[in-house]
């Protein structure tokens, strides 16, 4: 626990009462979503799936067959009205649902193991994950109380054309402070954004060879954040990131260039994408779990089929106009369906 952000329950409630209704709803929704994601992530890990940080619970829950987290009630105080399955009084009542038979259990988190029979090790990871989320809510509240300002961390306004990550924008729109980890991520995104622009914009001095600059700029017309086709980085991302740079040849058991996915796996990718799964990593885990795809992995834990899945989506589905790449990093590639109605949102 980070002592800097510790609060008693009374202090927490008193700060919560100073927030607007909209801010309180946002924090409660975020906490519920985050708990659901933490729960699903640990349940999926139990079956060997490795899920990237950006995956949503909607995606991860496709990998689960039994318990999912569906919500909680905070009575404010320990209440005799709010009970665990075993009858114990609770302040927090957590709700889990069994996907197989639809059974919903309402319980105290300490009894998660005995009422659901989920493995003790997984339960302890879930509880630790929930503690981190509680701690993050404290962090927001303490910072709010202490008058946290974005301008203490960043030169405002943020540069033109820079897109603030969605979760961070949510906090800022409602006047809520950012978590330390969000500040770090925003700093990193800004650094990448600045690096991706022509150097002359930021470093007018110090270039002895302006002609080289012009050449450099002209030779890299696609060096922007949202290149989504004919990306010179693509083959590097997909095939080279997993291999040490010094290895001259591919290992013999990797047949590159790839023939691609089997037609049944292609159909499965198509099916899940149309159902709203955005993450190529999650799609790969679904193919392994539900469609007998090869489950061998790189040392980074990415499945070997991940580059094949990405390539199929990029070269076939994106080309068909079904979806488009919206973000990519060393962890994952995220896609978005192209709206058939043509709405921009």
Give the residue carrying structure tokens 């569906």.
70
Taking the least distance from each CB to Zn ion, the nearer of 93 and 289 is 93
Q: How far is the CB of 94 from Zn ion (least distance, A)?
A: 11
Residues 180 and 186 sit within 8 Å (Cβ to Cβ): no
State the minimum distance, in angstroms, from the CB of residue 108 to Zn ion.
6
List, in sequence order, every beta strand (DSSP E) within the chain. Answer: 67-83, 89-98, 104-107, 323-328, 333-337
Q: How far is the CB of 99 from Zn ion (least distance, A)?
A: 21
Cβ partners under 8 Å of residue 39, min gap 6:
57, 67, 68, 69, 96, 126, 129
Q: Which is nearer to Zn ion, 85 or 242 (CB)?
A: 85
Gap between the Cα atoms of 6 and 29, Å rounded: 21
Q: Is the CB of residue 92 less than 8 Å from the CB of residue 108?
A: yes
114 vs 134, which CB is nearer to Zn ion?
A: 114
Quick one: DSSP state of residue 65?
Answer: S
Of 85 and 228, nearer to Zn ion (C-beta) is: 85
Binding region for Zn ion (CB under 5 A): 84-86, 111
CB of 79 vs Zn ion, minimal distance in Å: 15
Which is closer to Zn ion, CB of 111 or CB of 145? 111
| H-helix segments, 19-118 | 21-45, 57-60, 112-116
Residue with Cβ nearer Zn ion (87 or 248):
87
Q: How far is the CB of 133 from Zn ion (least distance, A)?
A: 21
133: exposed, middle or buried (Cβ count in 10 Å: 0-12, 13-18, 19+): middle
Residue 166 beta carbon to Zn ion: minimum distance, rounded to whole angstroms: 37
């Amino acid at each position: 626990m980070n002592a800097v952000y510790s609060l008693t329950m009374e202090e927490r409630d008193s700060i919560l009462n100073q927030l607007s209704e909209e801010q309180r709803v946002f924090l409660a929704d975020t906490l519920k979503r985050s708990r659901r994601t933490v729960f699903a992530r640990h349940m999926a890990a139990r079956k060997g799936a490795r899920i990237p940080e950006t995956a949503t619970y909607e995606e991860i829950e496709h990998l689960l067959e039994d318990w999912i987290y569906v919500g909680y009630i905070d009575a404010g105080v320990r209440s005799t009205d709010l009970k665990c399955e075993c009858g114990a009084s609770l302040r927090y009542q957590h709700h889990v649902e069994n996907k197989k038979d639809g059974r919903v259990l309402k319980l105290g988190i300490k009894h998660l193991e005995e009422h659901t029979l989920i493995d003790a090790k997984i339960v302890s990871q879930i509880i630790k994950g929930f503690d981190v989320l509680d701690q993050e809510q404290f962090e927001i509240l303490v910072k709010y109380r202490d008058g946290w300002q974005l301008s203490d961390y960043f030169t405002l306004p943020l540069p033109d054309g820079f897109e603030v990550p969605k979760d961070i924008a949510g906090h800022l729109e409602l006047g809520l402070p950012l978590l330390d980890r969000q500040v770090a991520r925003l700093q990193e995104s800004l650094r990448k954004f600045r690096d991706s622009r022509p150097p002359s914009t930021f470093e007018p001095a110090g270039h002895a060879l302006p002609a080289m600059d012009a050449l450099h700029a002209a030779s890299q017309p696609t060096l922007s954040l949202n290149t989504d086709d004919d990306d010179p980085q693509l083959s590097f991302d997909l095939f080279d990131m997993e291999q040490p740079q010094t290895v001259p040849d591919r290992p013999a058991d990797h047949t590159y260039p790839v023939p691609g996915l089997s037609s049944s796996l292609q159909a499965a990718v198509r099916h899940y994408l149309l159902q709203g799964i955005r993450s190529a990593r999650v799609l790969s885990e679904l193919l392994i779990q539900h469609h007998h795809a090869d489950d061998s992995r790189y040392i980074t834990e990415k499945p070997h089929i991940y580059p094949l899945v990405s390539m199929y989506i990029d070269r076939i589905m994106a080309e068909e106009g079904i979806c488009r790449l919206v973000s990519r990093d060393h962890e994952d590639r995220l896609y978005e369906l192209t709206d058939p109605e043509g709405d921009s949102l």
